[in-house]
Amino acid sequence: MPPPLLACLLLILLSPAAARPRSVAVEAPGPAARPRVFPLRARQVPAGALPRPPSKLRFHHNVSLTVSLAVGSPPQNVTMVLDTGSELSWLLCAPGRRANASAPRGASFRAGASRTFAAVPCGSAQCSSRDLPAPPSCDRASRQCRVSLSYADGSTSDGALATDVFGVGDAPPLRSAFGCMSSAYDSSPDGVATAGLLGMNRGTLSFVSQASTRRFSYCISDRDDAGVLLLGHSDLPFLPLNYTPMYQPALPLPYFDRVAYSVQLVGIRVGGKPLPIPASVLAPDHTGAGQTMVDSGTQFTFLLGDAYSALKAEFLKQTKPLLPALDDPNFAFEEAFDTCFRVPAGRPPPSVRLPAVSLLFKGAEMSVAGDRLLYKVPGERRGGDGVWCLTFGNADMVPLTAYVIGHHHQMNLWVEYDLERGRVGLAPVKCDVASERLGLML
């Protein structure tokens, strides 16, 4: 998890998955392991569905990526957010054997109903993890390990560090540690029937590490129901992946998140024009601040101030003939997005004519174009015009000390995390096409 000065990433609020829940499948060791495919959902959800830890921004309108899992014995179907920017998986746990009657179906885990549920004792190695933002503590009375989440409103939530079995398809069930949290949640009609978060970074308590999964990948669709998540190894000849190495400094640095999926940003282009950004601005400094993280749990992308200013100036210049700028120095959507435009109400912006923004890495690039460039600010009007903002935010306004690439800019892009070779692979692809091809292959 990020150190304190990185603790402002956007919490992507949790959403229901419409598909029938399916078990997580984790690869067995060895070259013959068969990868597993299951749906990855993207949904817009209301604010307030679950508490927000300070490591994620409190946005009012968010999209989450959710997967459906089977946990416990007998198995309980739960829906969790897939977050490559977090370590500790956690579930909202009902206080007794029965779920809260006011909660949506699947919105909590009934720990007392699982015969394989076990609290982690204080003396265990898991209770001594140094990767979590707040170290676990010991309940002296019960001698059980406790974990805490601190929320953006200043409140906290405590829970037991526990283990239980996660369904792994036709492989043996996986026993995994997670936080069994007792936080309140929104049970209104607009609430979200989601039980928790699946931590997928490189920390010792992440699901990836505990499952010994050395490669996983996903495709985030621009539709709600066509995403796909693949756990395990697979050769995908129809996906010509370009790889960029994960970046790791030789020595520990105070503001470098060592368990994040960090890559090296080397340049940015707008409409094919390179921005005049010094290489030193795009690289981590001597403290570790300035790393670039790929995060499925953040919606939009954040650039540090100097890079953002260069992007803003060039994007406004190239779009001047197409869109009138908002020209309101006092307005910033969610306090970080101030490159905004006026678009007549009821009309979409001219997306196909907007200049693409390309993020350049060593050996790979990510191009953001069309509908992914602008976001309509809900409820914001200027006369007869709506307000649309560029989906790149100014990290300095949050503040953040890192570049963060959110999942909105990973749509229709195959993203592979290869921990064996220390690299991230990227390939443009339509997710529905990839899903069909994977169905035929696997």
- Mind listing the pLDDT tens digit for each residue in 194-226? 668 889 999 999 999 998 889 999 988 877 666
Please say if 83 is a catalytic residue. yes
The arithmetic mean of pLDDT across residues 227-236, rounded, is 78
Q: Which two tokens stand for residue 365?
A: 């690039």
Work out the number of other CB atoms within 10 angstroms of the CB of residue 391.
Answer: 21
Query: How far is it, in rounded angstroms, from Cα 15 to Cα 33?
Result: 31
Q: Which two tokens stand for residue 249?
A: 């400094």
The active-site residue, picked from 83, 164, 186, 338, is 83
Q: Look at residue 422 in the predicted model and tell me its pLDDT.
A: 96
Residue 96 has pLDDT above 60, yes or no: no
3-state class (DSSP) for residue 71 = strand
Please say if 170 is a catalytic residue. no
Q: Look at residue 197 in the predicted model and tell me its pLDDT.
A: 83
Query: How far is it, in rounded angstroms, from Cα 338 to Cα 390?
Result: 8
3-state class (DSSP) for residue 190 = coil
Residue 233 has pLDDT above 80, yes or no: no
Residue 326 has pLDDT above 80, yes or no: yes
At position 391, the amino acid (one-letter code) is T
Residue 43 has pLDDT above 60, yes or no: no
More confident residue, 163 or 399: 163
Q: Is 237 left (phi over 0), alpha (psi -120 to 50) or beta?
A: alpha
The arithmetic mean of pLDDT across residues 226-255, rounded, is 86
Q: Is 8 left (phi over 0), alpha (psi -120 to 50) or beta?
A: alpha
3-state class (DSSP) for residue 312 = helix
**Please, which contacts does 312-319 make with residues 24 or more away whose CB atoms are closer than 8 Å?**
312/338, 312/339, 312/390, 312/394, 314/270, 314/271, 314/273, 314/275, 315/270, 315/339, 315/355, 315/357, 315/390, 318/270, 318/271, 318/273, 318/355, 319/354, 319/355
Q: For residue 437, with 0-12 CB atoms within 10 Å meaning exposed, 13-18 middle and 19 or more buried, which class applies?
A: middle
Residue 423 has pLDDT above 60, yes or no: yes
Q: Look at residue 225 in the predicted model and tell me its pLDDT.
A: 62
The arithmetic mean of pLDDT across residues 308-318, rounded, is 98
Q: Look at residue 194 in the predicted model and tell me its pLDDT.
A: 60
More confident residue, 427 or 43: 427
* DSSP-derived pairing of the beta strands 144-150 and 262-263: unpaired
Q: Which two tokens stand for residue 345?
A: 């109400």
Residue intervals of the chain classified under CATH 2.40.70.10 are: 4-213, 242-431
CB 292 within 8 A of CB 262: yes
CB 156 within 8 A of CB 149: yes
Sorting pLDDT into bands at 50, 70 and 90, what band is 170? low
Q: Look at residue 398 in the predicted model and tell me its pLDDT.
A: 85
CA distances from 334 to 95, 139, 275, 331, 378 (A): 35, 39, 25, 9, 11
Name the DSSP letter for residue 108.
S
Q: Look at residue 188 in the predicted model and tell me its pLDDT.
A: 31
**Of 67-81, 278-292, 389-403, which gets the smallest average pLDDT?**
67-81
Q: Which two tokens stand for residue 70?
A: 């089977």
More confident residue, 144 or 171: 144
Sorting pLDDT into bands at 50, 70 and 90, what band is 169? low
Q: Look at residue 280 in the predicted model and tell me its pLDDT.
A: 95
What average pLDDT does the chain have? 80
**Of 174-178, 229-233, 284-288, which gets the smallest average pLDDT?**
229-233
Query: How far is it, in rounded angstroms, from Cα 315 to Cα 339?
Result: 9
Q: Look at residue 56 in the predicted model and tell me its pLDDT.
A: 43
CATH T-level topology, domain 242-431: Cathepsin D, subunit A; domain 1 (2.40.70)
Prediction pTM value: 0.84
The residue with tokens 């579930």 is: 91
- Out of 90-104, 145-159, 286-300, the most confident range is 286-300
Sorting pLDDT into bands at 50, 70 and 90, what band is 300? very high
More confident residue, 30 or 112: 112
At position 294, the amino acid (one-letter code) is V
The arithmetic mean of pLDDT across residues 37-44, rounded, is 63
Residue 243 has pLDDT above 70, yes or no: yes
Q: Look at residue 99 in the predicted model and tell me its pLDDT.
A: 40
CB 426 within 8 A of CB 317: no
Sorting pLDDT into bands at 50, 70 and 90, what band is 103? very low
- Among residues 70, 79, 21, the alpha carbon closest in space to that of 50 is found at 79
Work out the number of other CB atoms within 10 angstroms of the CB of residue 172.
Answer: 10
The arithmetic mean of pLDDT across residues 152-173, rounded, is 74
Q: Which two tokens stand for residue 3?
A: 């150190």
Residue 69 has pLDDT above 80, yes or no: yes
Q: Look at residue 63 in the predicted model and tell me its pLDDT.
A: 61
The active-site residue, picked from 131, 164, 295, 418, is 295
Residue 193 has pLDDT above 90, yes or no: no
Q: Look at residue 290 in the predicted model and tell me its pLDDT.
A: 96
Sorting pLDDT into bands at 50, 70 and 90, what band is 288? very high
The arithmetic mean of pLDDT across residues 218-236, rounded, is 78
Query: How far is it, in rounded angstroms, from Cα 422 to Cα 442?
Result: 25
CATH T-level topology, domain 4-213: Cathepsin D, subunit A; domain 1 (2.40.70)
- Among residues 251, 245, 262, the alpha carbon closest in space to that of 286 is found at 251
3-state class (DSSP) for residue 123 = coil
Q: What percentage of the chain has pLDDT greater than the value 90?
A: 53
The arithmetic mean of pLDDT across residues 390-417, rounded, is 93
The residue with tokens 């495919």 is: 37
